[in-house]
Amino acid sequence: RDGDEIAPTAWGREKATHLFQFFLTLRRRYLHKEQIVDRLWPDLDMDRGDRDFKVALNSINKALEPDRQAWSEAQFVRRHGLAYGLNLEAVWLDTEVFDLLSATGNQALLQTPPDRDLAVRCFEAAIGLYHGDFLPERRYEDWSSAERERLQVLALNTMTELAELLLEQAPLESLRLTQRVLAIDPVWEDAYRVQMRAFMSQQNRPLALRTYERCVAALAEEFDVPPLPETTALYRKIMAAGD
């Protein structure tokens, strides 16, 4: 709120926090009150759900706009007909900017010729906004899981693409990025290939081969499958380089 963090106690009821976080998940979408209640509190009957929704929404508005006049329209949570959602014109969402930066970086690589410098800047800025799982405190809530997984996959793709772009000019940073990717998802195979190439650029063939072995072990343990053909082909190329 105006650049200041809102104290947890300002939200009042826990349902207000749930509702606001749900709006963050919806972002540009608006849902009817009944749909929201059904997603957040499926065990409540219609009357109780309606009452709790109104109380939670009122708590949100008080937390975000404590000085707003009762008769004036709320600026952050808007109502369109019977549907409710966030007014993105009034808020700055890191998830929204993260999406935009990642998309802009990918578009830069599709240009003719590809604008690699722009892609690197966009990907670096995007990764700077990713600090781990989306709403980790709601890890076991069905309504948050899809967005959490989507953002994680986008982050892993973005970090891997950036690592590949930095292979020649900054191989150590490329290695750091792949290590971060594999710490999040140990079976992210693209990161293993980039890491193998980064080690080879440092003339470190033993670590490149060891990376492949870790890839084989991780895939076998998690999915009981071998690496993709392109990963095996890179391994054979590295093996041949030592002959």
Q: What is the pLDDT along the chain (243 residues), one digit of tens a residue?
A: 555 677 677 777 889 999 999 999 998 899 999 999 999 999 999 899 999 999 999 999 888 887 777 667 888 899 988 899 999 888 889 999 999 999 999 999 999 999 999 999 999 999 999 999 999 999 889 999 999 999 999 999 999 999 999 999 999 999 999 999 999 999 999 999 999 999 999 999 999 999 999 999 999 999 999 999 999 999 999 999 866
According to the model, what pLDDT value does residue 11 have? 78
* CATH number, residue 175: 1.25.40.10
On whether residue 3 sits in a domain, the answer given is: no
According to the model, what pLDDT value does residue 2 have? 58
- Is the N-terminal amide bond of 8 cis, ω within 30° of 0? no
Same-domain status, 197 and 219: yes
The answer for 72, left when phi > 0, alpha when psi is -120 to 50, beta otherwise, is beta
- 3-state SS of 48-97 is HHHHHHHHHHHHHHHHHCCCCCCCCCCCCEEEECCEEEECCCCCCCHHHH
According to the model, what pLDDT value does residue 23 have? 94
According to the model, what pLDDT value does residue 3 have? 59
Same-domain status, 16 and 74: yes
On whether residue 184 sits in a domain, the answer given is: yes
According to the model, what pLDDT value does residue 107 have? 98
Distances (CA, A) of 18 to 24, 94, 125, 226, 228: 10, 19, 29, 42, 41
Same-domain status, 191 and 152: no
- Cα distance between the two ends of the chain: 63
Same-domain status, 122 and 137: yes
Q: Which of the listed residues 161, 182, 199 is the one where a domain comes to its end?
A: 161
On whether residue 125 sits in a domain, the answer given is: yes
Residue whose C-alpha is closest to residue 181's, from 171, 172, 194: 194
Q: Tell me the DSSP string of 118-183.
A: HHHHHHHHHHHH--SSSSGGGTT-HHHHHHHHHHHHHHHHHHHHHHHHTTTT-HHHHHHHHHHHHH
Q: Which of the listed residues 31, 59, 86 is the one where a domain comes to its end?
A: 86
According to the model, what pLDDT value does residue 73 have? 81
Q: Which of the listed residues 107, 131, 161 is the one where a domain comes to its end?
A: 161
Q: Are 52 and 94 contacting, i.e. CB atoms less than 8 angstroms apart?
A: no
Same-domain status, 78 and 113: no
Domain count, the chain: 3
pLDDT in tens, 22-49: 999 998 899 999 999 999 999 999 899 9
On whether residue 102 sits in a domain, the answer given is: yes
Domain interval for residue 129: 92-161
Same-domain status, 73 and 14: yes
On whether residue 2 sits in a domain, the answer given is: no
Place of tokens 């998690």: 222
Residue whose C-alpha is closest to residue 232's, from 241, 215, 223: 215
